[in-house]
Amino acid sequence: MKSIAEINAIRDKMQSQIKLRDNSKTEETHIVIGMGTCGIKAGAVAVFNAFVDEVALKQIAGVKVMRSGCMGKCDLEPMVEVTVPGKEKVTYINVDEKKAKEIIEKHILNGKAIDAYLMK
């Protein structure tokens, strides 16, 4: 039987390992665009390409732009989830190409989510 101190030490060690793993998972910023039929109909492909172009042209490192399936709220498409390492995921709604550029500029480059475009 291990002592409480030993168990606590094991717990602390494991927690730090888990934290390390979690950090490694979220080192990249993820921009995920809902690309179900409803999203595509609402213009999600142009939004995807606007994000890709902005990230590539501005040479922003550590950002991945990806698609997902339907995000479940068809009338709010195109929907975009942004996950910045160490911060909570936020979801933008009714995104268009202009808003995509603004999200890159204000949120990705300057760290400030744009409240007006977020899902409430």
Partner 1 sequence: MKELAFHILDLVSNSLDAGAEHVKISLILEKNTYILTVSDDGKGMDPETLRMALEPGFSTKGTEGQGLSLVKELAEKTGGSFSVRSKAGEGTEITALFKKDSPFMIPAGKLGDALAPLLPEKAEIVISVKSEKGSTEISTAELMKDGSPDEVMAARKLINKNTDIFGGSVL
Give the interface with partner 1 as residue ranges (CB under 8 A). 33, 35-38, 40-41, 44-46, 48-49, 51-53, 55-57, 60, 63-67, 69-70, 74
Buried b (16+ CB within 10 A) or exposed e, 59-95: eeeebebeeeeebeeeebbbbbbbbbeeeeebbbbeb
User: Nearest approach, Cβ of 63 to partner 1 (angstroms)?
Assistant: 7
User: Nearest approach, Cβ of 112 to partner 1 (angstroms)?
Assistant: 21
User: Nearest approach, Cβ of 66 to partner 1 (angstroms)?
Assistant: 6
How is the beta sheet containing 63-68 ordered, strand by strand?
Answer: 63-68, 29-34, 80-83, 90-92
Nearer to partner 1, 10 or 56 (CB): 56
Q: How far apart are CA 86 and CA 76, in angstroms?
A: 26
Nearer to partner 1, 7 or 109 (CB): 109
Nearer to partner 1, 18 or 66 (CB): 66
